[in-house]
Amino acid sequence: MYDKIIDLYNCEKIAEIHVCNGSYPIYKFIHEGKDIGFYLSGIGSTLAAQFCIEANWLTGATQFIMSGSAGSLDKEKTDNKFVIPTESYRDEGMSYHYAKADDYIEINNSKKVAEIFDILELPYVQGRVWTTDAMMRETKNNVEVRKNDGCIAVEMELAGVQAVSDFHGFELYNFLATGDVLAENEYEIDGLSDANHNMDKFFIGLEIAKRI
């Protein structure tokens, strides 16, 4: 998907995020008269949140649209729908360095994202999600506890990125596409590739960018 964006648009490299094992370029292009910056985010709350901070330092950006794949915890609710998180369970470390300790962090712009999805007539469901930094420890017991608490999806970045955004005064707009399904007795991966690589999330992101 990243390469397709570069092929589709007249992109200009405006900065680089440097980390010890490589560099992540930040590109800019103009869409309907508006400057749009994009970069490939790091995986996990720590990297994803730190990249937002670095992008702000390098470019002055204060509005971030973040989308990615997630695991469904409730196939009936999420099937063929995007997930717009309302709160995220903080099962990671980054958020606790930027926000007061609590089980959940509110996703401030959930309502705004839902309003834009309504305008675009896109299918979605709003609900709690679970941010974890230990994807191999999504055990049956943990899944059941989070489901009983109202979580409908699990991902790895949102809680930390929201906490950093709140701390630094950034605006975060997030939506997710579920691919794999964590069910009680099985693990389904049928939709994972499409959730990771489909270009629809990028074009939806552009529509959000036009309206914020």
Q: Where are the domains of the chain?
A: 63-210
pLDDT classification of 44: cutoffs 50, 70, 90: very high
Q: What is the pLDDT of residue 5?
A: 85
Superfamily classification of domain 63-210: Nucleoside phosphorylase domain (3.40.50.1580)
Q: In angstroms, rounded to a whole number, what is the distance separating the alpha carbons of residues 190 and 77?
A: 17
Q: In angstroms, rounded to a whole number, what is the distance separating the alpha carbons of residues 117 and 42?
A: 26
Question: Each residue of 103-160: pLDDT tens digit?
Answer: 999 999 999 999 999 999 999 999 999 999 987 777 788 889 999 999 999 999 999 9
The answer to whether residue 41 scores a pLDDT higher than 90 is yes
Mean per-residue pLDDT of the chain: 91
pTM summary value:
0.91
pLDDT classification of 195: cutoffs 50, 70, 90: very low
What mean pLDDT comes out for the span 77-88? 96
Q: What is the pLDDT of residue 2?
A: 74
Q: At what angle do helices 158-168 and 45-59 cross, to 10 degrees?
A: 30
Query: Dihedral (C-alpha) 74, 75, 76, 81: value to the nearest 10 degrees?
Result: 110
Do residues 85 and 110 make contact, with C-beta atoms less than 8 angstroms apart?
yes
The answer to whether residue 192 scores a pLDDT higher than 50 is no
Q: In angstroms, rounded to a whole number, what is the distance separating the alpha carbons of residues 212 and 198?
A: 23
Q: In angstroms, rounded to a whole number, what is the distance separating the alpha carbons of residues 64 and 56?
A: 10
